[in-house]
Amino acid sequence: METKAGVLCVQFRPKLGNKKANLKKVEDLIKPYADKQLDLILIPEFFSTGICHKAMINEPENEAGGPAIETVANLAKQYNSNILAGSVIEKSNDKLYNTCFAINRSGQTIAKYRKIHLFNYLGGTEGERITAGNQPVVVDFDFAKVGLNICFDIRYPLHARKLLQMGAEIMVCPTAWAYLNSASDEEKETTKQVWQALNVARAAENLVYFISADICGKVDSFLSASGHSMIVSPLGTVLQNAQDEEKAIYAQIDLQIVRELKKSYPVVEIE
């Protein structure tokens, strides 16, 4: 059984509310890796709109994901890759959810995850518009079991532990991790350092590959995004870090490492 897999994370600065331009940017960043083994592509939170409340609230996607997810599904077929479409705002029964769509190589949505831990702190107001999900999700892709986080979920180690107990070998976290433009340089740097430390911690404490995809650059006059999308090994080694650039990062991973570690170290049973 083949245990090696190719994973790709996309990091870019979305144009606020411009779905067409943002979806083209996603494809432009994937295209140079067409000759690589692509088993999983991860796209950031709010990839189609950026942090644009007007577009997210007034132009949500439907339960099937709408045009944004249809475009990503076509990319999955074109590049023969499973894709986790970071998140879009999904409208269902007059409620809005921050939802990640899991799409297989045939372009089919095989799972959805609605963000559980909304950002309602330090001035965050996500819960005023968005309804929290209540079901953790591990996707059984054709090459590995992948546990899903979205952004602030990374702050909750027991959420990751639940994904581990559900069989996750890889965990992902599409995000729009941001800081205030008015913050001091020290505060901005601390925000980035904490984000990176959380990536490493979730990987090492659960002995899984941890993969994140962030947006980057200035969002608006109020916020900027942290960047630093990462691919981290089960032992906490940073394999790739996108830093502050608009770029995709790629790594070949070996799932046998995860499977052997789980046999030799009872991390699932640790309370």
How many other CB atoms are found less than 10 A from the CB of residue 1? 5
- Is the pLDDT at 123 greater than 80, yes or no? no
Contacts of 174 (CB under 8 A, 6+ apart): 42, 43, 44, 45, 47, 84, 86, 87, 100, 150, 151, 212, 213, 214
Contacts of 160 (CB under 8 A, 6+ apart): 147, 149, 154, 171, 202, 205, 206
Instruction: Please state the rounded mean pLDDT for residues 229-247.
Output: 98
pLDDT for res 1: 61
Region for 94 from its dihedrals, namely left if φ exceeds 0, alpha if ψ lies in -120 to 50, beta otherwise: left
CB atoms within 10 A of CB 247: 18
Residue 216 to residue 205: CA distance in whole angstroms: 27
Q: How far apart are CA 97 and CA 76, in angstroms?
A: 23
pLDDT at 208 over 60: yes
Question: Which pLDDT belongs to residue 178?
Answer: 94
Residue from 220, 200, 225 nearest 210 by CA: 200
Max mean pLDDT range (18-32, 52-66, 124-138): 18-32
**Domain total of the chain:** 1
The pTM of the full predicted model, rounded to 2 decimals, is 0.96
pLDDT in tens, 125-138: 787 899 999 999 99
Mean pLDDT rounded to a whole number for the chain:
95
Whole-angstrom Cα distance, residue 46 to residue 235?
30
- pLDDT for 268: 72
**Alpha carbon distances (Å) from 186 to 179, 190, 192:** 11, 6, 10
Domain holding 112: CATH number? 3.60.110.10
* 55-64, 105-114, 151-160, 225-234: the lowest-pLDDT one: 55-64
Does the pLDDT value for residue 53 go beyond 80?
yes
Flag the least confident range among 15-29, 63-77, 110-124. 110-124
Give the pLDDT score at 267. Answer: 81
pLDDT band at residue 270 using 50, 70 and 90 as cut-offs = low
Domain range enclosing 37: 4-269
Confidence grade of residue 29 (pLDDT, cut at 50, 70, 90)? very high
Q: Give 210-230 as a 3 state SS string.
A: EEEEEEEEECCCCEEEECCCE
